[in-house]
Amino acid sequence: MKKLSAYVLWVMSSVCLNAQPVNLGTAGNFGVLAGSTVTNTGATVVTGDLGVSPGSAVVGFPPGVVTGTIHAGDAAAAQAQIDLTNAYNNAAGRPGPTLVAADIGGTVITPGIYNATSSLGITGSVTLSGAGVYIFQIPTTLTTASNSHVILAGGATAANIFWQVGSSATLGTGSTFYGIILAQASITITTGAAFNGKALARTGAVTLDSNGVTGGGPPPPEAPAPSSLILVAIGLTFVVLYKGRARLFRQSKEN
């Protein structure tokens, strides 16, 4: 009985304690959002909208490509910044984080809320394993080394990974990175870094250099299966036709 009670408590606590995603509001439509400027070099592709507010400078598009709309200092960008501030505060205020090392390279991390004492680095590879929400609370900087990789496993998705950065984030050359960066100041994605997520900076600049920023824009379309009622109706029709054909076949053989 004690074991059963403990199991029930464990199930209930694991259900209740699972972190919920951070609501990005209209900022979720943006692949890139900056406070001062967005500067790009090379053939960067940004999926979703690109915005700047309260600044308005957008440099380097083209040669960069934005699949959505560029909002340079307009009302949509301003609203997205308000929503970003709410999301940033929400992520920063999530209670009960687990402390991680200053460099999480070489580790495997499961869904949950984590914090660093100061800055956070990734050297080599870090694996985020398991379906669920990951929130990293980083008081100062986030820095990934050149050719470092964030690896997703077991159902982890970029849309559920939130990096709340107290100052600035820098992704190293040739690195692979997943998740939504909510930075207080600036975000720099260096040459050739593959970034699957959203780069959302509150006050500073977002700097891009020949990157793919693929996490922006509205959610992709879905492919739901037809209703099971219709499928069974089709199935019954098929069975009736099959039986009828079999009966006809038998009769023709007898004749």
Using CB under 8 A, list all residues that contact another protein. 131, 152, 155-158, 178, 196, 214, 219-236, 238-239, 242-243, 246
Which residue lies nearer to another protein by CB, 27 or 158? 158
Which residue lies nearer to another protein by CB, 102 or 242? 242
Residues composing the chain:
255
Least distance CB 124 / another protein (angstroms):
21
Q: Residues 178, 196: contact at Cβ < 8 Å?
A: yes
For residue 158, the Cα-to-chain-centroid distance in whole angstroms is 3
Q: Residues 81, 35: contact at Cβ < 8 Å?
A: yes
Least distance CB 194 / another protein (angstroms):
10
Least distance CB 236 / another protein (angstroms):
7
- Distance between CA 105 and CA 153 in Å, rounded? 15
Least distance CB 30 / another protein (angstroms):
17
Q: What is the dihedral of CA 95, 98, 101, 103, to 10 degrees?
A: -70
Q: Which residues contact 122 (CB under 8 A, 6 or more apart)?
A: 103, 104, 105, 143, 144, 145, 148, 150, 175
Backbone phi, psi, residue 243, to 5°: -65, -40
Least distance CB 77 / another protein (angstroms):
24
- Distance between CA 194 and CA 203 in Å, rounded? 23
Which residue lies nearer to another protein by CB, 135 or 152? 152
Which residue lies nearer to another protein by CB, 57 or 131? 131
Which residue lies nearer to another protein by CB, 43 or 231? 231
